[in-house]
Amino acid sequence: MKATQITLAIAALFAVGQAVAATPVTPSDIVTARTGGTLKQTWFAGSSAFALPAFLAFEKLCDAGTMAIFDSNSSGTKPGSTGNYPTYACKVGTNVEVVYNNNGGSALAYAPFLPSTNSLSTFKGAALTRLAEIGGNTSCSTANGGSYTHVELKTGTTVSTPVYGSCATTTVLTDNGPTTIAGGITDVEAALFNIKSLKGIGTESVTNLGQTFGIVVNTSLYRALQAAQGITETGNNYDPTLAPSITREQYASITQSNETSFQTGWSNLLGSSYTSTPVYLIRRSADSGTQAGSQAFFLGNPCNNGNAGQISPATTGLGSNIYSTPNGDSFTVYESGSTGNVKVALTTLDNGGTITVDDGTGTGVSNPVTVTAGTFGIGVISLTEDWRAETTAANKGYRFIKIDGVSPEAGSATGNTISSPFFGTQNQYLATATTVSGQYPYYMESRYFLQSNPDAFGKVTLPAMITALDDPNTCALTPRAISLLNGISSCKSVDVLVTKNGNNCSVPVFAN
């Protein structure tokens, strides 16, 4: 009975009974809806890795062709590259619906509701930042950010969604926007952030969605690794089958806190001539599900629960996003508050310049560093990101490599292509084939969190978005790197044959 009631509630909120012209929402439409009582709005915070899938999921709940994107950056059109505060608006029948987002990291979904004794409460201020009220935000009153061309999950047709860039943000929540977050999508469970209990805080639910993650390097290091491993490839081609490889243990040696020769140069991976070449670890901050998943997978932290097998990560500490080892060697850790900032930092290492990435605490940029072109960088991000689809030069310098000889993109070519403004025509890859078959072990089973007293629209919208992705009827359009954990045979290309049974500390095992 309860399930039936939820289904009916979702249907009522997202029904499209009236014929509506398929034109994207504008700020003036939002003002009109607010005045007329037909505006529904909510606010989520959480995973930046899920930025694109979340956009596609919400769009699926809307009338076709009515979506608009608002965000803080002046460039970028693809969700995940437009800024950390993507806000989506659309029409549903006679209603206008707006979802504000803060994609600063998975832990932001919990942070505002945690006791001050929990270290993640440090991120409370960062979690409560959003775009200023759309419709009253004069800084983004015109669609000056271009448009995002993509395939709608709902219709399977190609649409161009207008992007309103350079929108102002606010922490003074006295405008007509939402006053607190309803919850959000997280890459991993709360336990991986050492949140011992959610009692009195809210409810965490499984999404039945897996997400593939990978080791990412800038193009300079990618080509150097290929050369060291005897792989020849030139030009703009970065075929996953020819990607260089490092082992799980080698990456763990770079990212762990006990200083090793893997941190003082690249000789272990590239040869003796690289003994003193600077090592830049470009990683996410402590509120990130990407970082929490990385620590669990590579370092057994906190999975080994304080035992000898649990290793601490190399970290900068809260409030400072640059860390260089005190004895003056060449290991630098750079923590950033979003996936987009990781992409920018890796690209800057390729091109040279100054890296200015905040650490996610809301305190702004600290310790910017200037690098020369061709500096080597490495880190971890989600495969929901795809360098081939980047539309901004500042984001395009990252590539995924193999782990233990297995590529996260291998065997997943769709037969379709991407027209890149930087790299010409490139193949499109789902980045799920080796994950779902059990060959590639680095994936996480995501969650969503709703606080104890969410707004009514957010309470229904968040689970509806998850259902929109976990849908066998549109499995052919399932976003890159997202796999379904429900075992529906009609979705073979994205059906997970292995499972962690809801525990991201577990080793994936075959379900049948």
Q: 383 with 327, same domain?
A: yes
Q: What is the pLDDT of residue 4?
A: 36
Q: Which residues, listed in sequence order, are joined to residue 149 by a DSSP beta bridge?
A: 160
The structure tokens listed for 138 are 């004069």
Q: What is the pLDDT of residue 159?
A: 95
> What total of structural domains would you count in the chain?
2
The whole-angstrom separation of Cα 77 and Cα 71 is 10
Q: 468 with 506, same domain?
A: yes
Greatest mean pLDDT among 3-7, 153-157, 289-293, 505-509: 289-293
Q: 432 with 453, same domain?
A: no
Q: 180 with 49, same domain?
A: yes
Q: 395 with 477, same domain?
A: no
Nearest to 146 by CA among 132, 161, 136, 156: 161
- In which residue are the tokens 């409810």 written? 203
Instruction: Using DSSP, state whether 131 is helix, strand or coil.
Output: strand
Is 451 a domain residue? yes
Is pLDDT above 90 for 310? no
Q: What is the pLDDT of residue 7?
A: 37
Q: What is the pLDDT of residue 324?
A: 54
Is 7 a domain residue? yes
Q: Pick 12 or 504 by higher pLDDT.
A: 504
Q: What is the pLDDT of residue 11?
A: 44
The whole-angstrom separation of Cα 470 and Cα 323 is 40
As a whole number, mean pLDDT of residues 321-329 equals 52
The structure tokens listed for 402 are 């193999």
Q: 163 with 237, same domain?
A: no
Question: How many C-beta atoms lie closer than 10 Å to residue 272's C-beta?
Answer: 8
Q: 278 with 327, same domain?
A: yes
Is pLDDT above 60 for 362? no
CB 68 within 8 A of CB 137: no
Q: Phi, psi (5° rounding) for residue 305?
A: 55, 50
Is pLDDT above 80 for 311? yes
Reported confidence tier of residue 10, pLDDT bands at 50, 70, 90: very low
pLDDT tens per residue, range 200-245: 999 999 998 899 999 999 999 999 999 999 999 998 889 999 999 9
Is 96 a domain residue? yes
Q: 116 with 236, same domain?
A: no
Angle CA 80–81–84, to nearest 5: 70
Greatest mean pLDDT among 112-126, 147-161, 353-367: 147-161
Greatest mean pLDDT among 64-78, 162-176, 215-229: 215-229
Q: What is the pLDDT of residue 39?
A: 97
Is pLDDT above 70 for 5? no
The whole-angstrom separation of Cα 106 and Cα 52 is 15
Q: Pick 117 or 339 by higher pLDDT.
A: 339
As a whole number, mean pLDDT of residues 446-461 equals 97
Reported confidence tier of residue 363, pLDDT bands at 50, 70, 90: low
State the average pLDDT for the chain.
87
The whole-angstrom separation of Cα 330 and Cα 252 is 18
Contacts of 55 (CB under 8 A, 6+ apart): 69, 79, 86, 88
The whole-angstrom separation of Cα 268 and Cα 306 is 29
Q: Exposed (0-12), middle (13-18) or buried (19+): which is 199, by Cβ within 10 Å?
A: exposed
Helix (H) or strand (E) holding 458: helix 456-469
The structure tokens listed for 197 are 């209990």
Is 441 a domain residue? no
Domain final residue, candidates 412, 436, 460? 436
Q: What is the pLDDT of residue 9?
A: 42
Domain final residue, candidates 402, 436, 470? 436
Q: Is-above-0.85 flag for pTM?
A: yes
Reported confidence tier of residue 337, pLDDT bands at 50, 70, 90: confident
Q: Exposed (0-12), middle (13-18) or buried (19+): which is 170, by Cβ within 10 Å?
A: middle
Is 479 a domain residue? yes
**DSSP H helices in 147-288:** 219-228, 248-255, 267-270
Is pLDDT above 60 for 26? yes
Is 120 a domain residue? yes
Q: What is the pLDDT of residue 3?
A: 37
Reported confidence tier of residue 473, pLDDT bands at 50, 70, 90: confident
> For residue 459, what are the domain limits?
2-206+446-510
Q: What is the pLDDT of residue 267?
A: 95
- Residue 110: half-sphere exposure toward Cβ, Cα within 13 Å: 34
Q: Pick 508 or 273 by higher pLDDT.
A: 273
Angle CA 269–274–280, to nearest 5: 75
Is pLDDT above 50 for 18? no
Q: 162 with 297, same domain?
A: no
Domain final residue, candidates 386, 411, 436? 436
Q: What is the pLDDT of residue 327?
A: 44
The whole-angstrom separation of Cα 428 and Cα 436 is 18
Is pLDDT above 90 for 40? yes
The whole-angstrom separation of Cα 63 and Cα 165 is 23
The structure tokens listed for 489 are 């045979």
Q: Pick 108 or 308 by higher pLDDT.
A: 108
Q: 242 with 350, same domain?
A: yes
Is pLDDT above 70 for 321? no
As a whole number, mean pLDDT of residues 171-185 equals 94
Contacts of 19 (CB under 8 A, 6+ apart): none
Q: Percentage of the chain surpassing pLDDT 90?
A: 59
Is 349 a domain residue? yes
Bond into 53 cis (ω within 30): no
Q: 192 with 222, same domain?
A: no
Which is it for the CA torsion 342, 346, 347, 352, positive or negative? Answer: positive
Reported confidence tier of residue 196, pLDDT bands at 50, 70, 90: confident
Nearest to 75 by CA among 281, 352, 343, 290: 343
Q: Pick 366 or 278 by higher pLDDT.
A: 278
pLDDT tens per residue, range 418-430: 988 899 999 999 9
Reported confidence tier of residue 318, pLDDT bands at 50, 70, 90: very low
Q: What is the pLDDT of residue 175?
A: 94
Q: Pick 92 or 20 by higher pLDDT.
A: 92
Interhelix angle 456-469/2-14, nearest 10 degrees: 100
Q: Which residues, listed in sequence order, are joined to residue 381 by a DSSP beta bridge?
A: 214
The whole-angstrom separation of Cα 2 and Cα 10 is 13
The whole-angstrom separation of Cα 79 and Cα 385 is 10
Instruction: Report the residue count for the chain.
Output: 512
Question: How many C-beta atoms lie closer than 10 Å to residue 61's C-beta?
Answer: 22
Is 360 a domain residue? yes
Q: 486 with 380, same domain?
A: no
